[in-house]
Amino acid sequence: MLRTTCIGLAVVLGVAAAANGLFMLVSPDSWYLAVPGVTTTGPFNQHFIRDIGLIHLLLGAGLLGGAARPHVRALLWTATAVWLSGHALFHFWEVAVGICGPSALARDFAGVTLPAILTWLLALWAFREDRRA
């Protein structure tokens, strides 16, 4: 049951990350206007949005690759969790130095902080599974 839940969660997170990345690559201007709070972080920058879109495709590939390949799962999910955590910590830093108000943390939680937390939980589970094997 736990195995199925973890693999399923990785697939959901992976598809979401890849879909977000594709959206950023295909229509950066629409993405910029569609995602809550993005317009308050600075002016539209198509190149930057597409760069981050490529990263999100890579994150999606890491999550989906880990779901499909148990022998590299812990590595792929840990690498993904590291980037997602850095991104989440950057959001906290922006609040700490006054770039954004504290309400940004609540607004961004589901799309920024929660995926980092969930991916760390997946990575820890994968390491535990590796030790059992």
**Domain boundary assignment for the chain:** 2-132
Report pLDDT digits (tens) over 7-63: 999 999 999 999 999 999 999 999 999 999 999 889 999 999 999 999 999 999 999
What is the average pLDDT value for the chain, to the nearest integer? 97
Is the per-residue pLDDT at 133 higher than 90?
no
pLDDT over 70 percentage in the chain: 100
Is the per-residue pLDDT at 72 higher than 90?
yes
Question: Which residue from 9, 31, 7, 8 is spatially nearest to 20, judged by alpha carbons?
Answer: 31
What are the angstrom distances between the C-alpha of 13 and each of 41, 116, 128, 132?
Answer: 24, 10, 20, 25
